[in-house]
Amino acid sequence: MEPLLRDFPSASAAELLWLQEVLVSVERTVLPVAGHAGSCAGGLVLAVIRTAQRALGLRSDTLPLSYRLVSVAELLARQRTPCCSHMTWSTAQFRVWAQAGERRAAGRRALPRDNLLLIGRLMDHRDAGPDGAAVHDGSLSLRDGSGALYCEVLQLSPDWLGRLMLFPGWTYIPQVAMGVGQEARGYLELSAPPLPLHPDPPMIPDPGAPPSLTSAMTPQEATALLRERSRAPGVRVAVWGQLSVLCPLLAIAGRTFFCLTLSDRHRGSSVPVLVMEPALLVWQRCLGVGDWLAVTGLRVCVLRSWGRRHVLCVTPQSRLHPLDGPLDTDTQAEGRMETDTQTDRRIETQAQAETERQADRQTDALTHSAYRHKRSKIIDYKGVVSRVLNAEAGLYEIDGQVGLCLAYQQVLNCGRGLRPGAEIELRHVHFLFRPSPHFPLTMLCACLRTTLRLGGFSAVGSEFTPFDPRGSPAVRFLLERELSVSDFLWACHCVCALRERLCPRFVKPGRLLGGAGGGAAGRFLRCVLGTVETGRRPERDIYREMLDEPHSCPLVEYRVGPPPCQSPSMRELCDLGVSLCWGSMCLSSLLPPEAPHLTSAELNLPLAWSVHCKPSPALRPPAVLVGLLGVCVRSGCVRLQDQTGCVDCVCVERGATRDSALTNPAWIGCLVCVQRFTLLTERFLQTDFPSWAQLDQPQYIRHRHCRVYIQLCVDDVEILSPSAAMSASRRGRERRGKREEDREVEGAGERDGTSVPVPEQDEGRSAEQHRETEGAVPAGATGLEGEGAGRDRERAGSRSRKRRAPSGAGTEQRGRGLTSAPPPPPPPPCVSLLLQVLWKEGLALGTAGFVAAALLLGGPRVWVGDPRDAETDAEGGASTRVDLQFVGEAVRWYPFLHPGCLYSLTAPNTADPSVLSVSPSVPVRTGAQSPAHPSLPVSPHWTLQSLTRPEVCQCWETGVQSVSDVLNSRDPLSLVSFEGRISQRITLQEEKGKTPVIQSLPSDLDAIVESGLRMRLTVCDLLCPWLCVQLYADLSQRPYPPGLVPGATVLFQRVQRKVSRAGNVYCRSVVISCLTVMQLGDGNTGEPQSLSSSSPSPPAIRHLGEWAHAAAPQCVVGQLRGHVVCVLFLELRWTCSLCGSVFKQDSCTRNYPPCNSDSGVFQAVANVVVEDGSAEARVRLSTPAVLALLALGSAQWEGLQQLVRVRGHLRLFNRGRSAESRQGSVQCDDPLVQFLSLLCSSPSVCRSVGLSCRLQRRPPTPGHENCQLRRFTRGDREFVTKMPTALQLHCAELTD
Ligand SMILES: [Zn+2]
Ligand SMILES: [Zn+2]
């Protein structure tokens, strides 16, 4: 302090206090790095004050009292917001700078100014590792006694390195901590040249510098030298030229290096120089494209990975000599001109980008193909960063309109300085137009040849998120798969979209993005981009990309067009389903061909319900879904959900022979990616169209809404992040597999003495992949061969061997069971129960749960740890029938419980088996006729696990019948379970006096209000599709079951089997009935007339004899060829489409009550006798078939309709072959009747035809199999004889 006081004898008290503080700070932070022998704190303080006075323009007796010395540690620890210090600027200067900065980055405030003194040393390396070894990775840092801080400079001077300096202008930018536990570090932006505290050291003659540069070669001479293969070792050369290419720093396989190219434009020659010397890497920051320079001390090397070509390499003796211009007087004038034009081009870049964009727009307007490959242009660009689009993926926006992608470069400084408001200069950057629909139209993409320079730091306080290529799943995937720009941008968009939709409610950000394999997002990209054509190019060769002429790199060509697939959120998916279903709706396509002849009631019935199916690959572009699987406890339906919403899923799993319903509850909580699914939209329409003619008038649609859901098979689903139960069950499966394998191999090993191979685990493999792609550029790229390069290679080889060896040993040890590891804490005990489900009841609205009947296989068992890991064996013998009551949250197991399947019910964290003991109590809901069984209420926190043990499954018959069993059953049991395929779904008319509109899920926010919940399902037998049963279901009192569409195989549990008065068997769903989709339907109803809509092939061709003698089939469809023997009956009439009365002229004939309908439809019915040689049948034909039968031309048919319209209706009866009309007996002179009688008996009608028929139901004739008594009179005798009932068919289609 005393020497200081000598310098400031007249210091005031405040000044003394300030001096004291500065002294303490200097002792703590500056002295440890001062380095000079003999430097003392007092001397340093004086140097600091003098330097600060120079910077501030103060007199030597004025102390900068408003300034305070700040240390690196203090900035790191205390400064949470950006701040800046500008000693040399006046307030006015600072304001101008701040205002300019705010203009450049709209909407952001300028940095606050602080009066801080920062003193330290600028270093070109960082210390790493426990030994503190210097790592030269091109980073700059400022170091003082308290710590080190990364810093960025605009233009580095090599003189600054290692000197103790005062920094008069800087900005400190703290870094946003990316995750929990991550260290928040900031960095400095040095905007003004630093001021040395001590005067320049005396110049020491540099031994490496040649006395003059007269011996330096031109690039042309150097190229000639490189062509000579034989070169004496140890010779050093010097080269001068203009810097034409300055590649960015690359760090590969632990080495950091860069390339530059010196060229002589005048002579058209260039020579590449490789800089690998750690101490010389700072050159990269000191140089600029277009600079003239000379490099000395270069040696000639062979680049193995660049086709064994020769390049120049710097040596530790190499020196850089900036030149004002060419050394050669011949090219001096030319060179200056070159430099000038270069500057001009920089200014023109923006205008150039604009014109190229216009040109691109024109070509785009001309070509409209989906995909197009384009070549990028190479330009220089100067602009201002306006926005950070995606810091993790290295995507920025410049000038508010142009995108910048740095992902193809290895940005070693993590993008420090690239904040909004920063000016940047890009040299040799690829200009792409519309590479992705999700990013700006124009993109600038930096490759390994692009020079990125900061032209000015940002003046606004925008925060900084580092661009770490290794942290971004998209960038890692880019390197793994060598993605094209378009695919990479799409991947970035997807990762962002996933984060928005899933974090933080469903997935933690770390689980989505972190981890060895890039987290769930990485798995998603692998899953999606693994299947699309990524346009793989040959493996990247970094030296080619940097040095080859003409330039070639992955950015030279790019694809324009739609993304490989879309990944809609749940909300977007639902919207898509709604728009697709209404956009594609065509009312006439929902109707049968005879629709023009249907009355209003018949017409509106098929319109009431329809389904629209769209398989995901058919969507344009194909859709891939990502969401978390869960179960809605109100509806008992599996759902795929994200933060935007959820969508119901009908899930099945693939079995050995056929699909079946999902049984594994571990799917709950899995984050999945669904690539193959079907988007279904069920339409519910309330219409009152009077007739076909008004179908195009939308005012007759009273109400419409739709329900969107998806159908999928879980075997097509990729798990991005498994639930705890799923990972545990996978581990258990792996362990079991391993045990079995071990057992097998042990046997083999005993025989031939081989060791046990250890299966490679998934995690291990992905970690290995990760290591391979860790460097941002393909591995094995530093193939440098020169002096000592062979040695390097050998070392690297041994290193890699060493690296591999211990890991291999580790796996072996793990495989054998590591005994030396400390034993893990004992897992908590649990009690489990093995059970087989017999049946389950359906969920009903308003009740809190459901009941499932099950057989308990053995009693409760106590486990230590997870019973999943143990062999769960069924104890033979005693099995108890029990009713499991699922209430509240336990309803989540509803979709997974199926008859015949085996489950383990576990009560965790208890060793008391009595919690799982059954009690003989009354069930919550009394099922019909079920005897009281002991019941077991299932607690919500118990877990359910499905077991696949086929040998146990055989121990009990599931009781699930087929449709034919149900039809032919003589069992009086009224509740049956059967499985069949839905061939038709018809909505039934609402009963009178009943509210037609029911909310199926009243508590849902987006409650779907639907009507038409009473329906009739036609269910066909799985083996004999011509056998079918009608099932009447009322869905209004239960959660809406999705998936009941034609083509679906459904298990109907606990439905009522009934026999109609006519003797027909039908089924009715009751409150406890349960409908489970076992196989997905495609909704393909086909034409209702095609009779077997679910089977794609036409119905089989049959003989009438087969039908006549078949043993009581309930419902038979088939095709036949036969001869029309005669027409027994023909009726042509006009019917009122509203009331069904006869419609005459233009009005309805009904009087009581009067009908004022003005629409009538023409209908025709005929009964004909057809024989095919094996038997004879009466066939009933309706309108379109009658038209085909009569074989009239359209004009004649129209005329006939008009003639009938005058009289309303016309009937023609015929008894056998003698044509005789009952009506005609009175009006036999009616020409129309005469014409029709003649027509019906003519060979043009009585001809050979093809028919698609359905067997009409025969009345039951107990005792008389298919016979009836007929009375005949012959003269005065009367005979009674048994006649077989005539075979009656209904014809849907008649062909010639
Ligand atoms: Zn390139
Ligand atoms: Zn009427």
pLDDT of residue 709: 93
Q: How far does residue 1151's CA lie from ligand 2's centre (Å)? A: 9
Q: What is the pLDDT of residue 391?
A: 85
Closest-approaching ligand to the CA atom of 377: 1
> From the CA of 1156, how far away is ligand 2's center (Å)?
6
Which ligand sits closest to the CA of 540?
A: 1
Kindly give the distance from the C-alpha atom of residue 779 to the centroid of ligand 1, in angstroms, as a whole number.
19
What are the CA-CA distances from residue 984 to residues 529, 1028, 1255 (Å)?
39, 10, 17
Distance 556 CA to ligand 1 centre (A): 6
What spacing in Å lies between the alpha carbon of 271 and ligand 2's midpoint? 97
Asked if 247 and 259 touch (Cβ cutoff 8 Å), the reply is: yes
Residue in 1193, 1240, 1195, 1194 with CA at minimum distance from that of residue 1220? 1240
Tokens of 484: 């094209």
* Residues 402, 429 contacting (CB under 8 angstroms): no
Ligand with the closest atom to the CA of 1134: 2
Our CA dihedral for 762, 513, 515, 527, rounded to 10 degrees, sits at 10
Q: How many angstroms separate the alpha carbon of residue 483 from the centre of ligand 1?
A: 14
Residue 308 — left, alpha, or beta (φ > 0 → left; ψ -120 to 50 → alpha)? Answer: left
Distance 376 CA to ligand 1 centre (A): 9
- Name which of 86, 69, 47 is nearest 197 in CA terms: 47
Classify 821 in phi/psi space as left (phi over 0), alpha (psi -120 to 50) or beta: beta
Question: CA–CA separation, 488 vs 436, rounded Å?
Answer: 9
Global pTM value = 0.78
> What pLDDT is attached to residue 538?
54
Burial class (CB in 10 A: 0-12, 13-18, 19+), 925: middle
Q: Which pLDDT score is estimated for 799? A: 44
String of b and e for 990-1016 (b: at least 16 CB within 10 Å)?
beeeeeeebebbeeeeeeeebbbbbbe
The pLDDT, as a whole number, for residue 403 is 93
The pLDDT > 90 percentage for the chain reads 16
Residue count of the chain, please give it: 1296
Q: Please give the pLDDT value at position 517.
A: 65
Ligand approaching nearest to the C-alpha of 547: 1
Q: How close is the Cα of 46 to the center of ligand 2, in Å?
A: 113
Tell me the DSSP string of 862-894.
EEES-GGGS--PPPSS-EEEEEEEEEGGGGGGG
DSSP per-residue string spanning 132-147: TEEE-SS-EEEEETTE
Task: Burial-class residue 1211 by CB neighbours within 10 Å (0-12, 13-18, 19+).
Answer: middle
Question: Minimum-distance ligand to the CA of 376?
Answer: 1
Q: Among positive and negative, which fits the CA dihedral 1157, 1161, 1164, 1165?
A: negative
Half-sphere exposure of 1178 (CA within 13 A, CB side): 13
| 572, 629, 630, 643, 717 from 506: Cα distances, Å | 18, 10, 11, 8, 18
Does an H or E element contain 966, and which?
helix 963-968
Cα(557) to centroid of ligand 1, in Å?
10
For residue 655, report the distance from its CA to the centre of ligand 1, in Å: 51
Closest ligand, as measured to the CA of 432: 1
CA of 988 to the centre of ligand 2 (A): 22
4: part of which helix (H) or strand (E)? helix 2-7
Rounded to the nearest whole angstrom, what is the distance from the C-alpha of residue 548 to the centroid of ligand 1? 10
Residues of the chain with pLDDT under 50: 37, 180-181, 208-209, 333-348, 368-369, 533-535, 749-820, 871, 923-924, 926-930, 951-955, 992-1009, 1086-1097, 1217-1227, 1259-1264
- Ligand at minimal distance from the CA of 1149 is 2
Q: What is the DSSP string of 541-578?
A: -HHHHHH-SS---TTSEEEESS-S-B---HHHHHHHHH
Q: How far apart are the CA of 1138 and the centre of ligand 2, in A?
A: 5
Residue 193 vs residues 155, 166, 190: alpha-carbon distances, Å: 9, 9, 7
* DSSP type of residue 159: G
Q: How far is the CA of 410 from the centre of ligand 1 (A)?
A: 13
- Taking the centre of ligand 2 as the mean of its atom positions, its distance from the CA of residue 1142, in whole angstroms, is 8
For residue 545, the CA-to-ligand 1 centroid distance in Å is 7
Radius of gyration of the chain (CA): 43
Residue 814 is predicted with a pLDDT of 40
| CB-based neighbours (< 5 A) of ligand 2, an ion | 1136, 1138-1139, 1141, 1148, 1150, 1155, 1157
Given this model, what pLDDT does residue 1226 score? 43
The rounded Å distance from CA 448 to ligand 1 centre is 6
CA of 1163 to the centre of ligand 2 (A): 15
In angstroms, what is the span from residue 528 Cα to ligand 2's centroid? 60
What spacing in Å lies between the alpha carbon of 441 and ligand 1's midpoint? 19
Count of beta carbons in the 10 Å neighbourhood of residue 399: 17
Q: How far is the CA of 1207 from the centre of ligand 2 (A)?
A: 16
Ligand 1 mean position to 492 CA, how many Å?
20
